[in-house]
Amino acid sequence: MLHPSKALIFSLLWGLSTSLMCKDPNGNEVDWYSVYKSPKNHTALDWKVRAGLAHFYLDVHSPQWRLIDQPLNSTQHQLYHTLQQIYKPQSNTLMYIMYNDEKPDGLLRKGGGHTKGVVAFNETSGFWLVHSVPKFPPEKSDGYSWPHSALDYGQTFLCVSLPYKQLETVARQLQFNQPDIFDHQVPTDFLESFPVLRDVIAETPPEGPPWASIQPLTSINNQAFLSFAKANNFHADLYDALVAPTLKQNLLVETWLRSAGTPLPSNCSSKYKVLKINNIKLSEDVEFKETKDHAKWAVTTATDQHQTGFITGKNQYVLKMGDSSASPYACVGDINRMDSQFHRGGGTVCIQHAAAWKAFTGVVNGYQDCP
């Protein structure tokens, strides 16, 4: 029989070894991280940028964008390490849900949510990986790989490590998002503890209004997040009608604007303006227009004052780093500012974190300002 103190130590070590969390580029557990994949650029100095496999990373310990040495099609970076917890053979006791409106087999979801991500939990903790990449990730049976179709454009990710009890909130938000689930494993114990998971797996939408949900999330290390989710019947833009009014601040928003429907210009008529980003600069070697970016993210910005400089001959303004925000939020999600997506589910997850806000704000190299 173990001595009580030794039993306690063993229990603690076992708990640590069996936690399920986001993983950093070295495979270490991390509370949260964000990734910005750069578009393919044939003239770039770095071969990974030329190949469309470069990505920049920040997390709670190092909240500034830095280029990761390993390409996205390798097996030594944060996405691989995070998802490998699902792909490894010993993962039969955890729950996971993979969803994407464009499945790995190329099939498109019609009428459901425009939403992409992975949720995975064991009976201690888990992670929610929100992203913008079509056809990603592969099903569990196929193991990790990076889709060849995802080389050309920019993409974004946000991974949040969450305690077990937060699975209830994540599941309820997913029900509003109306995801297209292409692979899942949800043991009976999870269904009994969180009955809403049955509705998520069955892709059962909310029964009635309200057609949107705003829920706080708290990470394992007590970082505050705010999750915004809308259902198909919301019939409005997520950022204009939900995020900006809730945060009571102007937003700078970057999303894909080349799908079916009409892209939305900057919204200058509402109390809280939503401004369209049109140029991004991740480093001296990585600068691109929004037409090369499939990412979906936003940052709060000053309500009444912008320190901007006009670029002669272009309908574009440059954001100066002196801008302020009442409460600094950076948001990463999966839905676009297109009129065609008024009638589709989707969402964004916002982190209230000054350094993360500064990092996202710092890559804004131009936006469509109001007259």
Question: Rounded CA gap, 64 and 283, in Å?
Answer: 11
Those residues whose C-beta lies under 8 Å from the C-beta of residue 246, and which sit 6 or more positions away, are 214, 226, 228
Strands of the sheet with 155-163, listed across from one edge: 66-67, 55-59, 32-37, 155-163, 125-131, 116-121, 95-100, 181-185
Catalytic residue list = 294
Residue with tokens 């890559």: 363
The verdict on whether omega for the bond into residue 137 sits within 30 degrees of 0, i.e. cis, is: yes
Question: Rounded CA gap, 184 and 141, in Å?
Answer: 11
Nearest to 184 by CA among 146, 141, 221, 145: 141
The answer to whether 364 touches 277, Cβ cutoff 8 Å, is: yes
**Cα–chain-centroid distance for residue 12?**
31
| Angle, CA of 253, 256 and 257, to the nearest 5° | 100
- The token pair that represents 244 in the structure block: 């900006």
| Angle, CA of 351, 185 and 123, to the nearest 5° | 60
